[in-house]
Structure 1
């Protein structure tokens, strides 16, 4: 790497040592910026952290005036740092002061530095701050240096997300870990739901790939498939799932996929090559996913969610993990958060506790949307980075009518939605009473 001392490997090893040291959060940050500046041959390294109010605060620096730490702030979009946070993209400049977004802050003493490289501190696509290096001389930062700074920013993101800097926040200037977020997506199922987030995590990490006894693995695979099919039959035939409606066709199609002999044959063939049953399921599903992602037909792409759900169910059966969340682990008012879901996945959860559904993917005609509507669960799809922005236990409001999601809402917003939910409940009760009345011709 041009301009770096020892390369990114040396830097990462030293960063890990600092992260593991028993020192105060401020001392840890101070050591980190010194290490980064030294490794990238920069005269300045600074860390700006996103606050709850959306502004960015200087939390540590090597090279700028230390008195500016916790004093200098940038509004969202203000200056080069604010621009990086807003765009969530790196910015490398050989003459920073001539950039139209440059904002001079006399307390920092940065006017003597011409070159500027800044990268967003990202976690799950969400901006948590900005990491910057600067030099006095005009300098073109290389792609390797940009990549190295981005890698370092990932470590910073984990430290911020873990709450390691909360103690440094001044009163009224909390770090934006828990700031309210208003997400706009598409309506999947009408209704208003208020509750706390439960993350839907169907994926299973496979650690054992090589089979010692292929014949035994085939038997494990066949037993797991039989068990999975029985559990799907039980889910679909439960009394709380209506037996008539569009959702029923969706669920029956899902059950048909579970009984597909071609799927079982392909997995059995892979096991006989020497892989474990789990590895075979993953291999066949990866191949299927790659083929279906190349399809432009929305019907075929929708089948991918069904097949993903089946593969995940089979993997969980093989490793002995239950689908969904145990009743005792679900909050009384649960809002389910997922990247995507198959049509039967909602049936794994206790409907008496489920108040809403938020998805990163899925449109109004998706199978999961059809099932959510049939079950009367408010749902919103296409909420970008939902699984990264929402933590387990976060307060979440789902407005299925407007296609909006409120994450960690302010009390006034929450109260307004409570009123909206109560009004809706009263209207629904009135409709139910009218439904039982005989028709009258006037």
Structure 2
């Protein structure tokens, strides 16, 4: 039977430490800060800390438990319990009162702890003589790192102020645990939880394997000073910062400025939280305990994050983002810094981690050093995703709460083909992914060898693979991949990455450079497709209930013809003496195309009248991406020189499923019979009118989907550069006659509402087609 220690049985130095410890939370914080600065071992430091806390809280016991990577809580230091139990007593999360606190991330105060249903008796600690219990989680960034406990023999009710003081003290312990100081001297058999490897899952966006180190896109302010020297001064700083944040949000909403990419409703949520009395009260109370304003913000947000992360209500969990953004803005305000993207010095192997980001922000980074991107909010069809694929940067999106799991400089691996994210990976995992990266490089070499192989299927059916682009840097891939042409050039990206609307000369220079970058290869330019999720930073956005169905693309161009005429004039001038192909996006009725074509003809007449050169041949096309056009295919095929099918929008409109909404974006399969029937009707109608048709959506860049598209008659597919090799390898191996029979039979079947994906997958496997 172990010997039990009472509060009077400790060494003389502990007695003197308790006797000397002053009362009050602010004095305690100052004493703890002095201990943190002493040049002593981590264990001695913890031993001193628990003595000081016990004395200050008038408690007979103070104990610190640290969460290990294996999910167990280990007793690290104690004043009042049996010292022999230190590093021997462990418990699982959810086990005992300490485990309950770790699991719930909520404080717990009990006057009669032993009668609580979660009480777990540990004889080696000698704690059965203590009745009252107060425990708080040791939190950092909403993650539980351990538990801090005080106990007394007498039954007593702990005051709210005492709980606040203990929570504040736990912040200092969180910094000690997070620093790695405990791990460095080997106190644990396993790593502490904060340093544990974490495997996360997201949505694959851009293929590739990236191994590197975390760089936060909007880096958090590091709070270095936790203890206030002057509480009144800190209170004043907090009030000033709160006022500054409120004012900035009010101004953003008043002038309709959606800076930093937020939608208006998010700004409204920010304003709601910024004026929330409960949030402000908690901040003020935290400062009153002796924390600096910055530490108070971190403390309150860490508590809120811990609670919201454990909510099952999706709405409440979504509010976590709003609170995170608001707390970050407040920290920037306190630090006197603008809330803008920091382009700090990048490591050579940078993995950019962000909640979300726009294409312009991505392009600001030194792309030679970026090995991957991890995003909390970004889907397969988002514009940052499109740019990432164009740049060939491995990207994973929709990784829930990624910012809560990483610190700057953490080792991280991402797999853009599976959506896996490995944070602080163990050596065996790192070695496995390094080998996968080497295998992928060898596979890319094999694809490169296919560059000059004629595009003809195994049974002699020709096909064409074109390339999607939007930036000059993309165009270098045309020669590398052997693309037949640039099947889609997204001109709006040029407008999205500059601070003001490009004038005609700037546009002319840009298009001239594009033609020069791919001599001998046609380029199909899509006119401005702005609106909805594509907001120009210098253009006031019109508030709309359903922006994807609103004022965008050709609708803006026809309502503001000067914008379209300016772009057409620059394009036509740059294409003087060349073959020029221009297509208009989001055509819903034939009249829209006719009006746009008329503007192009007027610009040709203008250029001739003023002595400018004109294109040798001009072809004008329409994009088929609005379902209404499916019932006008004969009419549009008669008037357009070519058609281009934009499956990204066509799919979301056909199924009424917002492609940016993660709840419904993957609800419907692109290989479902209804969609394939619609696509087949486009090909068949265009063929009757001898109108060339190309598919340029993301669907065409997937090998399995490309096989199905070839089977229903699409012989021209345009895709991101990284997709050309895999798609070409698949189509070269295909027997189209057998594939046609299978696919058309399936989509014409009576139960044809189902997806045919499994059947096409089986066909590929049976015929050794690499998909």
Name the TM-score, length of structure 1 as normaliser. Answer: 0.67
Contact map agreement 2:372 2:393 (CA 8 A) in 1:
yes
Change (3 A) 1:137 1:401: farther
The aligned residue for residue 180 of structure 1 is 197
Q: 1:78 aligns with which of 83, 89, 95?
A: 95
Q: 1:293 aligns with which of 246, 255, 266?
A: 266
- Give unpaired runs (5+ residues) of structure 1: 206-278, 297-303
The offset of 1:154, in angstroms, is 0.7
The aligned residue for residue 119 of structure 1 is 136
CA distance in 1, matches of 2:219, 2:74: 38
Contact map agreement 2:207 2:417 (CA 8 A) in 1:
yes
1:32-76 superposed Cα distances (whole Å, 9 cap, x missing partner): 112222222322110011223332221111111111112212234
Q: Which runs of structure 2 are paired with 1:88-237 in the superposition (5 Å)?
A: 88-170=105-187, 172-201=189-218
| Residues 1:353 and 2:353 are matched in the alignment | no
Q: 1:40 aligns with which of 38, 44, 57?
A: 57
Q: 2:385 aligns with which of 350, 357, 369?
A: 369
Change (3 A) 1:171 1:290: closer
The offset of 1:24, in angstroms, is 3.1
Change (3 A) 1:114 1:380: farther
1:374-396 superposed Cα distances (whole Å, 9 cap, x missing partner): 32222223445534532333221
SS in 1 for 2:181: coil
Contact map agreement 2:211 2:412 (CA 8 A) in 1:
yes
Name the TM-score, length of structure 2 as normaliser. Answer: 0.40
CA distance in 1, matches of 2:417, 2:140: 30
1:84-127 superposed Cα distances (whole Å, 9 cap, x missing partner): 22332222333323333322211100112222222211111222
Change (3 A) 1:76 1:371: same
1:275-313 superposed Cα distances (whole Å, 9 cap, x missing partner): xxxx998985587569541569xxxxxxx9xxx9xx9xx
SS in 2 for 1:17: helix
SS in 2 for 1:137: coil
CA distance in 1, matches of 2:248, 2:107: 39
Contact map agreement 1:199 1:337 (CA 8 A) in 2:
yes
Contact map agreement 1:195 1:396 (CA 8 A) in 2:
yes
CA distance in 2, matches of 1:62, 1:322: 46
Greater RCO, CA 8 A, separation 6+: 1
- Give unpaired runs (5+ residues) of structure 2: 1-21, 223-245, 270-321, 462-771
Contact map agreement 1:49 1:128 (CA 8 A) in 2:
yes
Q: 2:358 aligns with which of 327, 334, 342?
A: 342
**Count of residues in Structure 1 that have an aligned counterpart in Structure 2:** 345
Contact map agreement 1:125 1:388 (CA 8 A) in 2:
yes
CA distance in 1, matches of 2:30, 2:188: 34
| Residues 1:26 and 2:43 are matched in the alignment | yes
CA distance in 1, matches of 2:97, 2:159: 19
SS in 1 for 2:196: coil
Bigger radius of gyration = 2
The aligned residue for residue 259 of structure 1 is none
Change (3 A) 1:435 1:199: same
Change (3 A) 1:148 1:104: same
SS in 1 for 2:408: coil
Q: 1:324 aligns with which of 319, 325, 343?
A: 343
Change (3 A) 1:349 1:15: same
CA distance in 2, matches of 1:429, 1:384: 34
CA distance in 2, matches of 1:74, 1:129: 12
Contact map agreement 1:325 1:349 (CA 8 A) in 2:
no
Contact map agreement 1:323 1:348 (CA 8 A) in 2:
no
CA distance in 1, matches of 2:217, 2:267: 26
SS in 1 for 2:138: strand
| Residues 1:53 and 2:70 are matched in the alignment | yes
Q: 1:64 aligns with which of 63, 69, 81?
A: 81
Change (3 A) 1:382 1:64: farther
CA distance in 1, matches of 2:220, 2:37: 30
CA distance in 2, matches of 1:142, 1:188: 51
SS in 1 for 2:99: helix
| Residues 1:404 and 2:420 are matched in the alignment | yes
Contact map agreement 1:55 1:74 (CA 8 A) in 2:
yes
1:297-331 superposed Cα distances (whole Å, 9 cap, x missing partner): xxxxxxx9xxx9xx9xxx9xx99x995244xx422
CA distance in 2, matches of 1:170, 1:202: 31
SS in 2 for 1:424: helix
CA distance in 2, matches of 1:190, 1:437: 23
CA distance in 1, matches of 2:219, 2:142: 21
CA distance in 1, matches of 2:381, 2:390: 13
CA distance in 2, matches of 1:186, 1:54: 27
Change (3 A) 1:96 1:169: farther
The offset of 1:137, in angstroms, is 2.9
Change (3 A) 1:283 1:294: closer
Contact map agreement 1:337 1:357 (CA 8 A) in 2:
yes
CA distance in 2, matches of 1:363, 1:138: 55
CA distance in 2, matches of 1:203, 1:60: 31
| Residues 1:422 and 2:438 are matched in the alignment | yes
SS in 2 for 1:165: helix
CA distance in 1, matches of 2:435, 2:388: 23
CA distance in 1, matches of 2:396, 2:371: 12
